[in-house]
C-alpha cells in the first residue's frame, strides 16, 4: 500500500512539473511581463531596470523556479486586461463554476445510478430500451445544443427562467453563493441540467454494464440460493459491487465537467472560470491563461489522488497487497 | 476482377455481415450516415442554393422562417439566416467541413498513436517508459481541455493574416494531438504480444529491417481494434470540433462548420429565430448519433470478450 501511494505521488509530482512548465511557457514566452507592468510607453532604461529587478536577466531555469515559488503562494501576476491580480479574478469566479459542477455531479449520481440499475435488471422492457436510446442521444449531443433547447423552451416560449447570469448571490466571506436565494436557485436549474445530461448518460451506461456482469457471478447466485429477497440480492449485494468503477469514473469526470463548464458558461453567460478563460483567450491575457492552466492542472491531479485514496478505502483487495 | 467478386462474396458470408443484416437499428444508422455523408460530399451539386456566392444573396430574404411556418418561402425549405443564406444549403456545406475536420483529426491522432504505440511496444525499455508516461500525464486531462488550450494558444500566436486560412489545420492539429493516447495504448499492448511470436523471429533471422517488421508484419495484426477506436473517435472528434467552433475558436465564419453555424444562430435564439441554430444542431446530432451507433456496434461485434 505504501508503494502504491509512492507511485501515485511521483506521478502527481511529474504531472505538476509538466503543467507548471507549460504554464510558465505561456506566462513567460508568450506574454511579456515587462510590458505587463510598465505598459508600452516606458523608456528603455526603465525596462532594463525592471528586467533585472524581476530576474528576467537570469537563466530560464532560475526564472522557472521563481515562477513556481510565486505560483505556490498564489501569485500569478496581474491580468493584462483589467489590471487586477490574477488570483483575485480566479477566486471571484471559482464559486460560480464549482457550484455548477457540484450540482451537476449530484444530479448525475442521483439519476444515473437508479436508471442504470433499472435498465440492467429489466433489459428487455420498453422503458429500458428508451432509456438506452436516450443515453446514446445524451452522449451524442453537445452541451451547447441542450442549453439552447432549454433556453428556447423555458426562457423564450414559456418565460419561466432567465436565460443568463447567476441571479442574486449571497456573500459568505470571499465565497459567493447562488444557492441561498430563490433567483439564484432558479438560475442554477438550466445550466445544471445542461451540464449533467452527458454525465447522467455515462453513469447510467456504466452502472448497467457493471450490473450485468456482477449479476452473472457466483456470489449473486449464492445469495439468491440463500433465499434472500430480490431487493437484498440486487441492491445490497450486486449494486455495491458495481459501484467501484462508478467512483473512479465520477471522480475523473469532475475534470471533464470543469472543461465542459466552459461551454455551458458560454451559453448561459454564467460568470465562472469558463467565461474568464474564454475572455482571456480572446484578449491574449497570458497571465490569466497561465494561472487557469496551473489551477485546472492542480485540481485534476488532486481529484485523481482523492479518487485513488477512496478506491483504496473501499476495495479491501487493494489494501491486502 | 473475379477475385474481387469472390472476396465480396466471402465478406457477405462472414459473421460480421451476418450480424449486420440482423440488427435493424444499425442498418438504419448506417443508411442515415451514408445519406448524410453523400449530402456533404455532393453539397455543391445537390444544395438548392450556393450560400457562399454573394451575388445570389438577397438581404430582403434574411431571417425567413422554414417553409411550413407563416412568412416562410418555398424556395428556402428550412428558412434563411441573417444574411439571407439558405439554411439547408449551409447545413450541407457545413457538414462537409465538420466531417472533413473529424476524419482528418482522427487520422492524425491515429498516425501519431499507432507510430508511438509500435515504437513503445517493439523497443520496450526506457523509450516505452517515456512514451507511456507522457500518455499517462496527458490522460489526466480531458481531451476537450487539451484541444481547447492548443487551439486557443495557436489562435493568439499566429500572425493575424494567416489566422483564417490556417484554422482548418490548427483545429485538426489540436483535436488530433489531444486524442493519440488510446491508440498508442492499444497498439503497444498488441505489439508486445506480437513481437514474441515466431513469425517476427523468422523475419529477424532473414535480416528484415526493424522498420519493415513493424510496418509490414506487426502493424497489420494490430489494426482491428485500432479501426474500432477510430470509428468511436470520429464521433468525439466531430463533437469536439463543434464545441471549439461554437466557442469561437474553431472554423471561421468564412468556412463554417456545423458548430460555426450554430454559434452564428445562437445570438438570434432569444428573439425567437430558432431555425437558424437548431437545424444545423439537429444535423450535428444526427451525424454524431449515427457514427456512435455504428461504432458501438463494431466494438461489440469485434470484441471477443463479449461473445
Residue-wise pLDDT for A264-302, tens only, equals 988 888 888 888 888 888 887 888 888 888 888 888 888
| Contact indicator for B293, B26 with CB cutoff of 8 Å | yes
pLDDT (mean) for A54-71? 76
pLDDT over 90 percentage in chain B: 10
**B87 against B287, higher pLDDT:** B287
| Cell numbers at A218, concatenated | 457466483
pLDDT (mean) for A41-57? 74
The pLDDT-based confidence of B48 (bands split at 50, 70, 90) is: confident
Q: What count of other Cβ atoms lies within 10 Å of the Cβ of residue B58?
A: 10
Interatomic CA distance for residues B98 and B241, integer angstroms: 7
pLDDT over 70 percentage in chain B: 88
Mean pLDDT of chain A: 81
Interchain pair B285, A137: CB under 8 A: yes
pLDDT (mean) for A172-185? 74
- Residue B287 has a pLDDT of 92
Q: What residues in A contact B278, CB-CB < 8 Å?
A: 145, 148-149, 152
pLDDT (mean) for A83-95? 84
Give the model confidence (pLDDT) of A258-272 as tens digits.
Answer: 888 888 988 888 888
Q: Which residues pair with A131 in a beta bridge?
A: none
- Residue B116 has a pLDDT of 92
The pLDDT-based confidence of B101 (bands split at 50, 70, 90) is: very high
**H-only helix segments in A216-272:** 218-225, 230-231, 239-268
Residue A72 has pLDDT above 90, yes or no: no
- Residue B115 has a pLDDT of 92
- Residue B68 has a pLDDT of 67
Q: Does A263 touch chain B (CB under 8 A)?
A: yes
A14, A136, A284 member nearest B289 (Cβ)? A136
Residue A64 has pLDDT above 60, yes or no: yes
Interface of B with A in 2-61 (CB under 8 A): none
Interatomic CA distance for residues A58 and A279, integer angstroms: 32
- Residue A240 has a pLDDT of 78
Chain B nearest-CA residue for A268: B266
Residue B207 has pLDDT above 90, yes or no: no
Q: What residues in B contact A289, CB-CB < 8 Å?
A: 152-153
- Please state which of the ranges A141-145, A240-244, A314-318 shows the lowest mean pLDDT: A314-318
Residue A319 has pLDDT above 70, yes or no: no
The pLDDT-based confidence of B234 (bands split at 50, 70, 90) is: very high
Residue linked to cell 457493471: A210
pLDDT over 70 percentage in chain A: 94
Q: Does B281 touch chain A (CB under 8 A)?
A: yes
- Please state which of the ranges A171-175, B52-56, B194-198 shows the lowest mean pLDDT: B52-56
- Residue B111 has a pLDDT of 93
The CA distance from A187 to the nearest CA of chain B, in Å, is 16
Spell out the residues 6+ positions from residue B186 whose beta carbon is closer than 8 angstroms to its own: B113, B117, B222, B225, B226, B229
Interchain pair A281, B270: CB under 8 A: no
pLDDT (mean) for B205-215? 83
Give, in order, the Cα–Cα distances in Å from B299 to each of A174, A179, B227, B229, B302. Answer: 49, 43, 9, 8, 5
- Residue B62 has a pLDDT of 66
pLDDT (mean) for A54-59? 72
Q: Does A256 touch chain B (CB under 8 A)?
A: yes
pLDDT (mean) for B41-48? 76
Interatomic CA distance for residues B152 and A251, integer angstroms: 26
Interchain pair A259, B148: CB under 8 A: yes
Interchain pair A156, B285: CB under 8 A: no
- Residue B110 has a pLDDT of 93
The pLDDT-based confidence of A76 (bands split at 50, 70, 90) is: confident
- Please state which of the ranges A178-182, B143-147, B148-152, B171-175 shows the lowest mean pLDDT: A178-182
Q: Does B247 touch chain A (CB under 8 A)?
A: yes
Interatomic CA distance for residues B108 and B180, integer angstroms: 8
Residue of B47, B42, B37 lying closest to B78 (CA atoms): B47
Spell out the residues 6+ positions from residue A193 whose beta carbon is closer than 8 angstroms to its own: A107, A146, A150
Chain B nearest-CA residue for A132: B293
Interface of B with A in 107-136 (CB under 8 A): 133, 136
| Contact indicator for B301, B16 with CB cutoff of 8 Å | yes
The pLDDT-based confidence of B307 (bands split at 50, 70, 90) is: very low
Q: Which residues pair with B80 in a beta bridge?
A: B86
| Contact indicator for B251, B257 with CB cutoff of 8 Å | yes
Gyration radius of chain A's alpha carbons: 24
Interatomic CA distance for residues B11 and B17, integer angstroms: 7
- Residue A246 has a pLDDT of 83
Interchain pair A148, B262: CB under 8 A: yes
- Residue B100 has a pLDDT of 92
**A263 against B222, higher pLDDT:** A263
The pLDDT-based confidence of B306 (bands split at 50, 70, 90) is: very low
Residue B76 has pLDDT above 50, yes or no: yes
Strands A175-177 and A170-172: antiparallel
Interchain pair A145, B155: CB under 8 A: no
Q: Which residues pair with B86 in a beta bridge?
A: B80
- Residue B227 has a pLDDT of 85
Helix, strand, coil shares, percent, chain A, to 5: 80, 0, 20
Q: What count of other Cβ atoms lies within 10 Å of the Cβ of residue B5?
A: 9
The CA distance from A171 to the nearest CA of chain B, in Å, is 30
Tell me: ipTM over 0.95: no
Q: Does A17 touch chain B (CB under 8 A)?
A: no
Amino acid at each position: 500500500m505504501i508503494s502504491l501511494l509512492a507511485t501515485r505521488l511521483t506521478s502527481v509530482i511529474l504531472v505538476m512539473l509538466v503543467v507548471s512548465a507549460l504554464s510558465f511557457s505561456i506566462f513567460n514566452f508568450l506574454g511579456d511581463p515587462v510590458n505587463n507592468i510598465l505598459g508600452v510607453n516606458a523608456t528603455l532604461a526603465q525596462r532594463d531596470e525592471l528586467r533585472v529587478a524581476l530576474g528576467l536577466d537570469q537563466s530560464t531555469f532560475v526564472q522557472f523556479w521563481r515562477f513556481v515559488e510565486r505560483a505556490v503562494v498564489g501569485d500569478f501576476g496581474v491580468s493584462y486586461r483589467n489590471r487586477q491580480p490574477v488570483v483575485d479574478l480566479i477566486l471571484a469566479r471559482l464559486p460560480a463554476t464549482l457550484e455548477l459542477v457540484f450540482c451537476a455531479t449530484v444530479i448525475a449520481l442521483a439519476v444515473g445510478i437508479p436508471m442504470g440499475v433499472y435498465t440492467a435488471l429489466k433489459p428487455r422492457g420498453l422503458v429500458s430500451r428508451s432509456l438506452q436510446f436516450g443515453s446514446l442521444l445524451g452522449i451524442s449531443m453537445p452541451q451547447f445544443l441542450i442549453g439552447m433547447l432549454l433556453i428556447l423552451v423555458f426562457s423564450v416560449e414559456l418565460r419561466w427562467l432567465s436565460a443568463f447570469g447567476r441571479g442574486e448571490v449571497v456573500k459568505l466571506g470571499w465565497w459567493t453563493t447562488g444557492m441561498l436565494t430563490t433567483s439564484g436557485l432558479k438560475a442554477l436549474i438550466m445550466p445544471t441540467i445542461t451540464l449533467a445530461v452527458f454525465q447522467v448518460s455515462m453513469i447510467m451506461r456504466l452502472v448497467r454494464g457493471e450490473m450485468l456482469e456482477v449479476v452473472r457471478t457466483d456470489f449473486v447466485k449464492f445469495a439468491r440460493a440463500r433465499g434472500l429477497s430480490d431487493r437484498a440480492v440486487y441492491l445490497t449485494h450486486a449494486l455495491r459491487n458495481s459501484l467501484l468503477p462508478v467512483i473512479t469514473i465520477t471522480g475523473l469526470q469532475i475534470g471533464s465537467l470543469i472543461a465542459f463548464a466552459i461551454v455551458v458558461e458560454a451559453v448561459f453567460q454564467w460568470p465562472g472560470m469558463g467565461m474568464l478563460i474564454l475572455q482571456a483567450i480572446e484578449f491574449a491575457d497570458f497571465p490569466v491563461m497561465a494561472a487557469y492552466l496551473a489551477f485546472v492542472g492542480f485540481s485534476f491531479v488532486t481529484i485523481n489522488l482523492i479518487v485513488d485514496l477512496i478506491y483504496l478505502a473501499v476495495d479491501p483487495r487493494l489494501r491486502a497487497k | 476482377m473475379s477475385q474481387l467478386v469472390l472476396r465480396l462474396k466471402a465478406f457477405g458470408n462472414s459473421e460480421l455481415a451476418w450480424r449486420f443484416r440482423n440488427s435493424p437499428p444499425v442498418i438504419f444508422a448506417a443508411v442515415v450516415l451514408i445519406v448524410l455523408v453523400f449530402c456533404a460530399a455532393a453539397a455543391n451539386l445537390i444544395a438548392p442554393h450556393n450560400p457562399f456566392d454573394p451575388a445570389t444573396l438577397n438581404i430582403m430574404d434574411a431571417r425567413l422562417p422554414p417553409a411550413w411556418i407563416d412568412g416562410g418561402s418555398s424556395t428556402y425549405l428550412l428558412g434563411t439566416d441573417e444574411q439571407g443564406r439558405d439554411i439547408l444549403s449551409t447545413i450541407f456545406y457545413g457538414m462537409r467541413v465538420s466531417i472533413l475536420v473529424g476524419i482528418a483529426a482522427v487520422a492524425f491522432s491515429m498516425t501519431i498513436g499507432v507510430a508511438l504505440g509500435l515504437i513503445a511496444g517493439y523497443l520496450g525499455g526506457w523509450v516505452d517508459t517515456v512514451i507511456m508516461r507522457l500518455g499517462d500525464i496527458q490522460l489526466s486531462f480531458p481531451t476537450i481541455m487539451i484541444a481547447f488550450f492548443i487551439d486557443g494558444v495557436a489562435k493568439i500566436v499566429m500572425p493575424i493574416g494567416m489566422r483564417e486560412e490556417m484554422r482548418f489545420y490548427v483545429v485538426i492539429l489540436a483535436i488530433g494531438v489531444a486524442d493519440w493516447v488510446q491508440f498508442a495504448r492499444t497498439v503497444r499492448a498488441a505489439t508486445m504480444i506480437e513481437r514474441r511470436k515466431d513469425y517476427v523471429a523468422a523475419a529477424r533471422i532473414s535480416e528484415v529491417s526493424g522498420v519493415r517488421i513493424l510496418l509490414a508484419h506487426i502493424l497489420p495484426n494490430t489494426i482491428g481494434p485500432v479501426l474500432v477506436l477510430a470509428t468511436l473517435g470520429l464521433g468525439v472528434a466531430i463533437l469536439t470540433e463543434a464545441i471549439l467552433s461554437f466557442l469561437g475558436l474553431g472554423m471561421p465564419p468564412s468556412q463554417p462548420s456545423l458548430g460555426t453555424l450554430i454559434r452564428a444562430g445562437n445570438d438570434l435564439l432569444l428573439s425567437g429565430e430558432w431555425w437558424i441554430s437548431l437545424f444545423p444542431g439537429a444535423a450535428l446530432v444526427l451525424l454524431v448519433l449515427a457514427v456512435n451507433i455504428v461504432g458501438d456496434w463494431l466494438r461489440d461485434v469485434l470484441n471477443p470478450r463479449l461473445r
